[in-house]
Structure 1
Amino acid sequence: MATVQPKEQLTLDGVSEQGFLAFYNNLPEKPNTSVRVFDRGDYYTVHGQDALLAARELFRTNSVVKLLGSGSNKVESVVLSRLNFESFVRDLLIVKHYRVELYKQNTSGKNDWQVEYKASPGNLSQFEEVLFGNTDQTVTTGVIAVKLGTENGQRVVGVGYVDVGGRVVRVCQFGDSGSFTNLAALLVQLGPRECLLPTGDLGPDTAKLKQVLSRSSLLVTERKRSEFSNKDAGQDLSRLVRTKGSTNVAARPEMDKTLAVAALAAVIKYLELLGDESNFNQYNLSMYDLGQYMRLDTSAAKALHIEPQSEGMSSSSRTHTLLGVLDKCRTPLGHRTLLQWLRQPLVDINKIEERQDLVEVIVSDIDLRDSLGEEHLRRVPDLARLARKLSRKAATLQDCYRLYQCVERLPNLCEAIAKYEGPHTTTLAAVFTTPLMELVTDLSKYQEMIETTVDMSQASQGQFVIKPDFDDTLAELRTTMNGLEEEIEGQLRKAAKDLCLEAAKTIKLESNSQLGYFFRITLKEEKGIRNNRTYTVLDTNKTGVRFRNSRLTQLNEQHQSAKEEYLSQQKAIVDEIMTIAGGYIEVVQNLGEVLATLDCIYALGSAAVCAPVPYIRPHLLDKGSGRLELTNLRHPCLEVQDNVSYIPNNCMFGEDGGKFHIITGPNMGGKSTFLRSVGVAVLMAQVGSFIPCDSAHISIVDTILARVGAGDCLLKGVSTFMAEMLETATILRSANSDSLIIIDELGRGTSTYDGFGLAWAISEHIAKELRSYCLFATHFHELTALADEVQTVRNFHVTATTAHGALTLLYKVKPGACDRSFGIHVAELANFPQSVIQYAKRKAGELEDDFGDEDDSEEAVKKRKLQRQEGEKLVDEFVSKAAALDMEGLTDDELVTEVGKLRQEVMASTNPYIKHLLLVKED
């Protein structure tokens, strides 16, 4: 854990302290999800509740909290080093989904603090360097606003969406149900980090709307109603949106979606996009069509473990998600695009098959796969982030050189793709080779500019400067620097001879931007310069000792001075290069999109061949075909875990296999895993991925809905049962015949009778009315009787055996209902006291009127079930004959005699169940 350095203490004189406190106390009130940080030059401070938050989350102790002021005017304060600040901000924005405001002073010594930067989970652009530096940005961003209205008496939802990172603006307007099922699907597809709502009551739908938003990891912010207005939206968008020719933004069809445009206006205002000229003419405006992707509700996304639920999850936990298994991407933009693909599975069979064709190429050609992964893609920079830096005029010569290197390698990349000989070469050329070569042509002038202006020899050594022959003054300075560098090399040889070391091996000459040139030796050689006045030690660490002699110190100072003058002299040239490079922003963005797609295809192909058992290409059928067949299906996340030998299973939906499957069996027997594996396989198939099974025929589904798991939402005031009912209500309103429904246990949160009644009614409605593909796992064994009443219902069970007195779970899904409950056996596995186990067996036997041995084999249990059915038939016959006796014509004694004869007939039976009933009666 980082600690506060002694030199970083908040030391203010009395006047400055009182002045700052007056300023701080006059700041407007803020929500607890916003944090204010004050930049004090070499360090940062946070105050009040923010200070207590930093002490708790960053330092895990209150000892770092100091008090400013006196008496009743005291304010808590915590000092943050630069490392503390970066760690704190990263946690606030990416993990906790808080907002951050950074204040700086305009005038030294005065308390004229102003907000310098703002950031929120949906807009990280101003803190990109702090959050990511030179590391990859894999997190996604985005802000939406929602505005409700009515149209022809129907509820209408308008959504405006802005992704600052991707320079994307979208509008979406649609009708919705009272449960906001379409909005819930949109939240999963877009994956925004923030949502804006108008302040105050939104009408009778307010509670339900906020309920839907609360199920997503969203920071919800209320803004003034006046901001949700499309009054100036056309004018604002005309400044932000990139247009071609004389196209007028106000005439575009997106502007007809008045509710969505009003919501978009609120996002633009919230992000203050118009306050930064670098945003002008940089955004792409488009209509978002909900129907072009498979719909997933929030419950389904969580149940299928598509992505980590927290950015703070460990890398090992991430591999337990579908994203973790499939993400073999080599580029930052590829990582983000693959997540978008998983959130937005396709429903157009032609587009899916195009992706499958491309994945098949990667799977079938090991040379191409290795070439892409090890040679080409891993060298591609984050082009989206680079484009943003160019638009903000924040790019450096190094950024321009990295783009140049990327473009320079593109012909080799296209050549590697062109070497492939096999099926789908036409698709490969259309999607990758042709667009990439066109982009190379578009960037040819850019390449020429960089080659003409940048000193390539210096760039290869990590120094990014303009060529000296580009300017007479630069040439003179370069000559001076070359001479100094030769002398510096001479000092290395001299020091090596003086210390009896080998130049460039045991003693090295190194440089960095902070120190300039210095010598370095290992700790083992340190004794050679100990107490040697000829050399001055700069520092010592585990990599060795860094030091100089007096001449190197002089030469380094001269070199640093010449270098600073060189950089100053070249500034005007660099500014001109940046201006020209800014004209290629759209081309760079397009290049990023093509390479991100290639990276995702590479990732899906690599995941298919790297699995313990290689994935296969599923055969897709048109929507409505009514067939979903998966042979020897596995779960992609479980099969990659250590010490797991996965047992595959089949899932057969169709006219013969039914469309509603009831799965019974013991806890921990694999029911939930089987349900999830089917959902994951269908989702993977419609993403375009290969899937973990032996063969597959999958009809396109338009929705995956889930009711899996149970847990009280205490913070939201929602019980387990209420959560079940809300999710199930959403399913019943959203599903159709082309939906896949996954229900794992339903009705456990209420009485047995109510729970069973609800489970039966819901199942019958899905099977008869909705006719969706449905997997329904339950412990209500009585529900299996539904198969006798509804033609499309089939019973399945996960197998287990209790042979030799121990419960053995076999994890195999077989046709038919489970013969019995294994709850007591599971309790034995949990090491319940034997007295409790025995009492449980006795009470269960009494309640179920069961007979036989709890540890009977599966065959014995089936035999016992038949004996019970035969016995119950004898009892029914006895009751029927007794009811047929002439009650009026026989005396009481004669009735007793006749009933006794009937009883003797039953007792004469050898049926074990009858004998069991008689024994229970005698007991």
Structure 2
Amino acid sequence: MSELLDADLPDGPSKPAPPAAAAPTPMMAQYIEIKAANPDCLLFYRMGDFYELFFEDAAVAAQALGIQLTKRGKHLGEDIPMAGVPVANADDYLRRLISLGHRVAVCEQIEDPAEAKKRGAKSVVKRDVVRLVTPGTITEEALLEPGRVNALVALARLGPAGPAAEFALAWTDLSTGSFETGSSDLARLGADLARLDPSEIVMADPVFADPEVAAALGRFRAIARPEPASLFDGATAGERVARFFGVATLDGFGDFPRAELSAAAALLAYLGKTQLAARPALSRPRRHEPGAVMLIDAATRASLELTRTTSGRTAGSLLSVIDRTLTGAGARLLAARLAAPLTDTAAIAERQGAVARLHGDGGLRTALRAGLKSFPDIERAVGRLALGRGGPRDLGCLREALSRGRLLADILGKAGDLPAETAEGLAALLALPETLAAELDRLLADDLPLLAREGGLVAAGAIPQLDEARALADDTRRVIAALQARYAQETGLRSLKIRHNNVLGYFVEVPEAQGPGLMGREDGTRFTHRQTLASAMRFSTLELSELETRIAGAGAEALRLELDAFAHLSALAVAQAEPLKAGAAAVAALDVAAGLAELASAEDWSRPSVDDSLAFRIEGGRHPVVEAALRASGSSQRFVSNDCDLSPPAGASRAKGRGAAGDAGAIWLLTGPNMGGKSTFLRQNALIAVLAQIGAFVPAKHAHIGVVDRLFSRVGASDDLAEGRSTFMVEMVETAAILNQAGPRALVILDEIGRGTATYDGLSIAFASAEHLHEANRCRALFATHFHEMTVLATRMKRVRNATMRVKEWEGEVIFLHEVVPGVADRSYGIQVARLAGLPAVVVERARTILNDLERSERGEKRGVALDELPLFSALAAAPAPTPAPPPARTDPLRPAIDALDPDTMTPREALEALYRLKGLARDGVI
């Protein structure tokens, strides 16, 4: 009804049209003023049961949402475009707009239309923006994925731009109230953001404009938002954070570097800017110590498909395979752990202990999982209630959680030896004041509405005054029917009806012919004439008017009492936010442990040994995703397990301290055919390391993992057209990151380095990269290659070992055995793979002919010359060219060339140059 009060609605056909240059109507002037204060947002302007958008916003929304674009009135002589969405379905439209990168300012009526009417019939209802909806600040259940953290990140920089600048991050999931900080630097910024996978990033304007920061952000720059530098003022940051949490000093929170405080204060300021009067129930900030988690950059995460496949889907990722959780909070915790594997062996062992306890007791695990199934999402329910966006069903979540928490506590009490964090969290949940649980049980109805304003959230009998008001409101039909029957009997008019509309309210209606009889009765003053229609006359009575007043008042009173009850329960819940969230965290940890135990039991996974050594020994390792895919497809093929040992060679230093002098892991050079399983083998070992360090069991018979502090993967080919990078350039950028950053505790997997350029260029790059990994990085590495010349490194570098994928040839066919064995492949079987891929038979046969000629040619290394001399494709059916006659006998120059070499004094570079000289002699026909 509020739009009926807006002054720009036409009063009737006789009202003249305003001149083209007329001032905007009061309502449109209000809209323009509010829009001017929020220029970077689509403005959802509340008008009755719709959110309306005008001008350019309307055109943008109509196109994005596929809704009709209409018009309403004129402004400066032009039609005003308009589009609208129903308030009841606003969440669906908001989700689509946010997913497209838009921000939305929600403008609500902040005044009762009746109050506006007191100022004059044409007064405009007061409106104002109550929140800004951005990708990182959404809290509505319909807009969020239950199992995904929705992170908002603030990025701060202290000091001038450049490599020495100090960076820090603060991040929160507003829907759960988590609040964390950590330090970073330019080199690892991309990896830190990849771990958090934020929905939105805010940073100061100068930082946003810095090209070095833009490069470090990579794909995350698309979701970054510049904000005034004043939000990141480090001088006042500590004071602002303390003020938000209502403390005099932050000493009790821990020791936070200045850069982290700057990021935290900026994050709080941005939340204040977007949430306006609503104050989120954030937990006290928790600091992440540097080096506490395995660092995994964005390229490696994409390559390993940890949480999403390269196509962006969750299905087919490692997360989808290991997720056996039963609650939303558990799913989010598992995803967070997978994104940030630990480096602290004690913490890893504690997580493993919880999994092992439930793995060894199937009955306990089954009982716990039955209690956990569909456990309510307390974290997000409390978050919505704190922001004033909760509903009765959020309170219902808390009621159910408290009840089921007692059940879980009973089960755990009988077990008696689960991790302390789980027991303490559940104890906090159960130690809540009885007031909350008792009030929830007493006041809440069994069947709860979605919104408090719908009524029906309070149980019958809980509030006597509410029961009375409800009785009158609910009995309206019966009371009206009884009154109608009495009037009909008293007047003798059986056709008399009592009806209702929004204009007259309740009224008595009789046929037009019988109306005068009512008016002419001796007691006619009892019926007061209200309206005459073509076929009926309408009357009111004093009794009917009084009843209408009581009915309307009863409905309003009932709603008021219910809203008061909702506010009371919400306040009780928000006051206990911390213990509620502690309990939710305990349930999530229990869910993750039980899910991983169920996974290990079902898939025959084993508990790995994780310590501070540089060991990396896996027996019978398997790729969890590929194995699951084989099983899901119904294939009879069994996944072939393989061993991998990248531990330091026997006799190397075994000092316990990290990075001990002289201690370094091994490098495997893996050769073998395409389709033989090299990439699968590389990835499965990296995934086993990740699983081990999140505290899970692993798909192997046995695994001994020395903590990996950084994981690098360069597997697969792709380009980056948006940045103007070719496939080879992307490969080199990622390889450079590995060679510049990997240390002794890193694990590196590399596949086909150098394949995107000329053969000699690629071989040289691959050769030099392997040398650098061995001599400078000194890391554990798997290096797959088709450059068989590289296998000579195993004879010259003590930590390099050759391995190959076994194949078997049978009647001209190649059979891939997918087994990794020591040794070197003699060929790549590329033509056989091409045939399997479906290349035309004539192309495959032509390729065989070319390959045979190249292998026979004395100048086979000069690929370009040899190919120029081969017959044309059209000569395929012709007989092969005769084998060239052998050259005349001459003195063998090989012996003196070899005698001139002294392997004991040569550097790796000199040895490589000598090798090329010998190959040059062969190429030129000298030997």
| TM-score bin, normalised by smaller chain | 0.7 to 0.9
Rounded Cα–Cα distance in structure 2 between residues aligned with 1:365 and 1:221: 50
SS at match of 1:880: coil
Q: 1:384 — aligned with what?
A: 379
SS at match of 1:795: strand
Q: Which amino acid aligns with 1:407?
A: L
CA contact 2:392–2:449 (8 Å) conserved in 1: no
- Given the superposition, is the C-alpha separation of residues 650 and 456 from structure 1 closer, same or farther in structure 2, using an over 3 Å criterion? same
CA contact 2:253–2:285 (8 Å) conserved in 1: no
Q: Which amino acid aligns with 1:198?
A: A
Aligned-residue offset at 1:106: 6.3
Q: Which amino acid aligns with 2:583?
A: L
2:129 aligns with one of 107, 115, 118: 115
- Given the superposition, is the C-alpha separation of residues 833 and 402 from structure 1 closer, same or farther in structure 2, using an over 3 Å criterion? closer
1:100 aligns with 2:133: no
Aligned-residue offset at 1:765: 0.7
Q: 2:340 — aligned with what?
A: 344
CA contact 2:130–2:277 (8 Å) conserved in 1: no
Rounded Cα–Cα distance in structure 1 between residues aligned with 2:807 and 2:177: 55
Q: 2:501 — aligned with what?
A: none
Q: 1:287 — aligned with what?
A: 287
Q: Which amino acid aligns with 2:431?
A: T
Query: TM-score, normalised on structure 2?
Result: 0.72
- Given the superposition, is the C-alpha separation of residues 749 and 39 from structure 1 closer, same or farther in structure 2, using an over 3 Å criterion? farther
Which stretch shifts more, 102-111 or 230-239? 102-111
Aligned-residue offset at 1:138: 3.7
Aligned-residue offset at 1:144: 2.0
Aligned-residue offset at 1:638: 4.2
1:580 aligns with 2:552: no
CA contact 2:133–2:274 (8 Å) conserved in 1: no
Aligned-residue offset at 1:52: 5.7
1:445 aligns with 2:398: no
- Given the superposition, is the C-alpha separation of residues 569 and 113 from structure 1 closer, same or farther in structure 2, using an over 3 Å criterion? closer
CA contact 2:616–2:703 (8 Å) conserved in 1: no
Q: Which amino acid aligns with 1:439?
A: L
1:273-298 CA-to-partner distances (Å, cap 9, x unmatched) read: 69645527744123222311111111
Rounded Cα–Cα distance in structure 1 between residues aligned with 2:77 and 2:835: 62
1:363 aligns with 2:377: no
Rounded Cα–Cα distance in structure 2 between residues aligned with 1:804 and 1:74: 79
1:626 aligns with 2:615: yes
1:831-871 CA-to-partner distances (Å, cap 9, x unmatched) read: 323333333223333334379xxxxxxxxxxxxxxxxxxxx
SS at match of 1:588: helix
Aligned-residue offset at 1:35: 4.2
- Given the superposition, is the C-alpha separation of residues 484 and 87 from structure 1 closer, same or farther in structure 2, using an over 3 Å criterion? closer
- Given the superposition, is the C-alpha separation of residues 476 and 45 from structure 1 closer, same or farther in structure 2, using an over 3 Å criterion? closer
CA contact 1:144–1:162 (8 Å) conserved in 2: no
CA contact 2:156–2:232 (8 Å) conserved in 1: no
Q: CA RMSD in A?
A: 4.2
- Given the superposition, is the C-alpha separation of residues 783 and 253 from structure 1 closer, same or farther in structure 2, using an over 3 Å criterion? same
Q: Which amino acid aligns with 1:209?
A: V
SS at match of 1:442: coil
Q: Which amino acid aligns with 2:228?
A: K
Aligned-residue offset at 1:301: 1.2
Where do 1:28-39 residues align within 5 Å? 35-39=42-46
Rounded Cα–Cα distance in structure 1 between residues aligned with 2:888 and 2:681: 40
- Given the superposition, is the C-alpha separation of residues 28 and 707 from structure 1 closer, same or farther in structure 2, using an over 3 Å criterion? farther
CA contact 2:179–2:282 (8 Å) conserved in 1: no
CA contact 2:443–2:462 (8 Å) conserved in 1: no
Aligned-residue offset at 1:792: 1.0
- Given the superposition, is the C-alpha separation of residues 106 and 83 from structure 1 closer, same or farther in structure 2, using an over 3 Å criterion? closer
SS at match of 2:775: helix
CA contact 2:445–2:456 (8 Å) conserved in 1: no
Aligned-residue offset at 1:747: 1.6
Q: 2:249 — aligned with what?
A: 248
2:853 aligns with one of 837, 846, 870: 846
- Given the superposition, is the C-alpha separation of residues 69 and 880 from structure 1 closer, same or farther in structure 2, using an over 3 Å criterion? farther
Q: Which amino acid aligns with 2:407?
A: N
Q: Which amino acid aligns with 2:623?
A: R
Where do 1:219-368 residues align within 5 Å? 219-241=223-245, 243=247, 248-249=249-250, 254=255, 257-272=257-272, 276=276, 278-279=278-279, 282-308=282-308, 317-368=313-364
1:253-291 CA-to-partner distances (Å, cap 9, x unmatched) read: 545x22333333333333326964552774412322231
- Given the superposition, is the C-alpha separation of residues 49 and 476 from structure 1 closer, same or farther in structure 2, using an over 3 Å criterion? closer
1:728-776 CA-to-partner distances (Å, cap 9, x unmatched) read: 2221222111111111222223222222111111111102222211111
Rounded Cα–Cα distance in structure 2 between residues aligned with 1:53 and 1:460: 34
- Given the superposition, is the C-alpha separation of residues 666 and 572 from structure 1 closer, same or farther in structure 2, using an over 3 Å criterion? same
- Given the superposition, is the C-alpha separation of residues 850 and 262 from structure 1 closer, same or farther in structure 2, using an over 3 Å criterion? same
Q: Which amino acid aligns with 1:186?
A: D
Q: 1:166 — aligned with what?
A: 176
Q: Which amino acid aligns with 1:123?
A: T
CA contact 1:636–1:692 (8 Å) conserved in 2: no
Aligned-residue offset at 1:387: 1.7
Count of aligned positions: 755
- Given the superposition, is the C-alpha separation of residues 697 and 252 from structure 1 closer, same or farther in structure 2, using an over 3 Å criterion? closer
Rounded Cα–Cα distance in structure 1 between residues aligned with 2:704 and 2:553: 70
Q: Which amino acid aligns with 2:435?
A: K
Q: 2:199 — aligned with what?
A: 193
Query: TM-score, normalised on structure 1?
Result: 0.73
1:818 aligns with 2:825: yes
Q: 1:666 — aligned with what?
A: 673
Rounded Cα–Cα distance in structure 1 between residues aligned with 2:302 and 2:86: 38
Rounded Cα–Cα distance in structure 2 between residues aligned with 1:160 and 1:632: 38
Q: Which amino acid aligns with 2:138?
A: L
Q: 1:124 — aligned with what?
A: 138
2:715 aligns with one of 685, 703, 708: 708
CA contact 1:198–1:228 (8 Å) conserved in 2: yes
Q: 1:726 — aligned with what?
A: 733
CA contact 1:634–1:649 (8 Å) conserved in 2: no
Q: Which amino acid aligns with 2:308?
A: P
1:426 aligns with 2:438: no
CA contact 2:154–2:203 (8 Å) conserved in 1: no
Aligned-residue offset at 1:615: 1.5
SS at match of 1:284: coil
1:454 aligns with one of 434, 443, 446: 443
- Given the superposition, is the C-alpha separation of residues 202 and 567 from structure 1 closer, same or farther in structure 2, using an over 3 Å criterion? closer
Which stretch shifts more, 736-745 or 394-403? 394-403
Aligned-residue offset at 1:348: 1.2
Q: Which amino acid aligns with 1:590?
A: A
1:568 aligns with 2:560: yes
Where do 1:330-729 residues align within 5 Å? 330-374=326-370, 376-420=371-415, 425-428=416-419, 430-451=420-441, 453-454=442-443, 464-465=457-458, 468=461, 470-471=463-464, 473-474=465-466, 476-477=468-469, 565-610=557-602, 613-620=603-610, 622-640=611-629, 641-644=632-635, 645=637, 646-656=639-649, 659-729=666-736
Rounded Cα–Cα distance in structure 2 between residues aligned with 1:105 and 1:469: 32
Q: 1:155 — aligned with what?
A: 165
CA contact 2:689–2:705 (8 Å) conserved in 1: yes
Rounded Cα–Cα distance in structure 1 between residues aligned with 2:376 and 2:347: 27
Q: Which amino acid aligns with 2:240?
A: D
Rounded Cα–Cα distance in structure 1 between residues aligned with 2:399 and 2:290: 38
Rounded Cα–Cα distance in structure 2 between residues aligned with 1:170 and 1:457: 37
| Long gaps (5+) in structure 2 | 1-7, 11-16, 114-122, 480-546, 651-664, 859-885, 897-921
- Given the superposition, is the C-alpha separation of residues 576 and 65 from structure 1 closer, same or farther in structure 2, using an over 3 Å criterion? closer
Aligned-residue offset at 1:626: 2.7
Q: 2:214 — aligned with what?
A: 210
- Given the superposition, is the C-alpha separation of residues 242 and 791 from structure 1 closer, same or farther in structure 2, using an over 3 Å criterion? farther
Q: Which amino acid aligns with 1:436?
A: L
CA contact 1:411–1:437 (8 Å) conserved in 2: no
Q: Which amino acid aligns with 1:163?
A: D
Q: 2:527 — aligned with what?
A: none
Q: 2:155 — aligned with what?
A: 145
Rounded Cα–Cα distance in structure 2 between residues aligned with 1:736 and 1:446: 53
